């Protein structure tokens, strides 16, 4: 009995240390966070305004439950995007599943015609979907999406509103 409890204690310490590293170490926005019990990454949404702290959110699925995790952008504009933190946020699983299903049902071109390239400050948006194995699709636009991507951007705007209202859970 004592050995089992000791093994459980050591295992918990290892998990806690792994989670501490995930939440405290800067990482590329392209890096998949790997930690026990957080599930498979399905959607990533990034909001990076010029003069405010940017945010990144990931929808994950774990054993039929949909979960939301949030991070902060810590890199400067013009440098590869880096994130820090990874907090689980409180939002209904059904809402996350609905967003995911809606995004995955959209058909749109992967490239668009140039519709205007001038501007200064604004907001960079990124939305990525992740499939089986190593498949992913990532869309990025600045302030206003190409017209062909409007359905994607409309759902992203709904997601941002819902995710900004979500509050951290007590524990991940």
Structure confidence at residue 159 as a pLDDT band (50, 70, 90)? very high
Q: Would you list the DSSP string of 50-87? A: SSS--EEEEEEEETTEEEEEEEEE-SPTTS--EEEEEE
Whole-prediction pTM value?
A: 0.88
Residue whose C-alpha is closest to residue 152's, from 164, 132, 137: 137
For residue range 49-61, list pLDDT tens digits in order.
988 999 999 999 9
Q: Are 21 and 86 in contact (CB under 8 A)?
A: no
- The residue ranges of every structural domain in the chain are 26-168
C-alpha 159/C-alpha 167 separation (Å) is: 14
**26 Cβ contact list (under 8 Å, min separation 6):** 74, 82, 83, 84
**Does the structure show a pLDDT above 70 at 124?**
yes
The predicted structure's pLDDT at residue 50: 86
Backbone angles phi, psi at 86, to 5 degrees: -165, 85
């Amino acid at each position: 009995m004592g050995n089992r409890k000791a093994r459980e204690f050591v295992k918990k310490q290892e998990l806690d240390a792994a989670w501490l590293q995930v939440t405290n170490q800067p990482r590329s926005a392209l890096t998949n966070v790997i930690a026990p019990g957080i599930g498979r990454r399905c959607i990533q949404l990034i909001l990076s305004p010029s003069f405010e702290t940017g945010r990144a959110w990931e929808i994950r699925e774990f054993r039929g439950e949909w979960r939301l995790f949030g991070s902060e952008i810590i890199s400067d504009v013009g440098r590869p995007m880096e994130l820090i933190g990874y907090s689980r946020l409180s939002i209904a699983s059904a809402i996350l599943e609905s967003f995911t299903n809606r995004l995955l049902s959209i058909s749109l071109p992967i490239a668009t015609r140039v519709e205007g390239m001038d501007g200064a400050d604004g907001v960079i948006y990124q939305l990525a979907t992740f499939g089986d194995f190593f498949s992913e699709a990532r869309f990025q636009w600045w302030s206003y999406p190409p017209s062909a991507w409007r359905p994607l951007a409309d759902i992203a705007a709904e997601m941002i509103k819902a995710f900004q209202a979500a509050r951290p859970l007590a524990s991940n």
